[in-house]
Amino acid sequence: MTEFDEAIALSDPGQGGEAPGGELTRTAHLPEGWLIGGAINGGVLMALGVRAMSEALAADGGGADVLAFTAHFLSASQAGPATVTPEVLRVGRTMSTAQASIHQRDEGKGPVERVRMMATFGDLAAFSEPVHRQQPPPVLPPPDQCISASDGPKEMLETIRILSRLDIRLDPATAGFGLGAPSLEGELRGWIRFIDGREPDLLSLPFVVDAFPPVAFDLGAMGWAPTIEFTGHVRALPAPGWLRVRLTTTNVAGGLMEEDCVVWDSTDRVVAQSRQLAGVRMPSA
């Protein structure tokens, strides 16, 4: 099993017990290798939630490819056990909708909700073609001429544990933050794949859209950028190979910014796009 599939593994429905609403809870184990600072990466949580919702809908006869997903983050997740509780809201002819909650037990307390999600599902093959228009992919140097995130400062790699799970190559034009010289354009571009060779699919896209370093790094804001709300759209099944990612932000005010992400596959197809509202601590002028 690949590292990512291990991170989003779920117990069989019912083994996690019954949630208050009578829905079947599933259990997961969030591995330490997916930490960013002291918290589990939000993309892993979103992939877990999407997976649980998809499987609950499939069991109810609904189309089970994720088309749009939303997460509102309630508290920081820790490494260790978690429960994932999906709830089917509607099974439709072409689209179905579900909700999911992820909880963990805080020491000496009862279950604390980490993230609440909603998502809409369908048969992606029926919603991918034909392509009328799409954003062209950014022109990037090939991966071996980009800056590998694994060449970053040792301190960064020890704090951002997920960087060891990924092969991220940043366009040198947007990698200046690593040398204390961010472009200040509010953009990061580069390549991404799993370090163990796992190919991209519909389960990994909700993770990939949140896997790059924060775009705020390119504005000289090197701190953690906690996600408040995250929404992604999945537009096509990714082909095997490297994915290209572009992150941008244009509205930074009051300690908040939006971060937009577009993901292209190896055939130049837009496979996902997302926007999040995140906290940002801008450096003093």
- Taken in order 135, 140, 143, 147, the sign of the CA dihedral is negative
Neighbouring-strand partners of residue 243: 192
In whole angstroms, how close is the CB of 108 to a copy of itself at the nearest point? 19
Chain-centroid distance of CA 164 in Å reads: 16
**Binding to a copy of itself (CB under 8 A): which residues in 175-194?**
186
Query: Which class for 43: exposed (0-12), middle (13-18), buried (19 or more C-beta within 10 A)?
Result: buried
User: Which one of residues 12, 38, 90, 268 is an interface residue with a copy of itself (CB under 8 A)?
Assistant: 90
256 part of the interface to a copy of itself, by CB under 8 A: yes
Q: Which of 126, 174, 187 is nearest to 146 (CA)?
A: 174
Neighbouring-strand partners of residue 245: 190, 263
72 part of the interface to a copy of itself, by CB under 8 A: yes
Over the range 119-132, which residues count as b (16 or more CB within 10 Å of their CB) and which as e?
Answer: bbbbebeeeeeeee
User: Which one of residues 1, 93, 110, 130 is an interface residue with a copy of itself (CB under 8 A)?
Assistant: 130
User: Which one of residues 99, 104, 174, 204 is an interface residue with a copy of itself (CB under 8 A)?
Assistant: 99
237 part of the interface to a copy of itself, by CB under 8 A: no
User: Which one of residues 76, 79, 203, 252 is an interface residue with a copy of itself (CB under 8 A)?
Assistant: 252
Q: Cα–Cα distance between 260 and 249 in angstroms, integer?
A: 6
246 part of the interface to a copy of itself, by CB under 8 A: no
74 part of the interface to a copy of itself, by CB under 8 A: yes
Footprint of a copy of itself (CB under 8 A): 21, 67-68, 70, 72, 74-75, 89-90, 95, 97, 99, 113, 116, 118-120, 126-135, 186, 219, 228-229, 231, 233, 235-236, 249-256, 258, 270, 273, 275, 277, 282
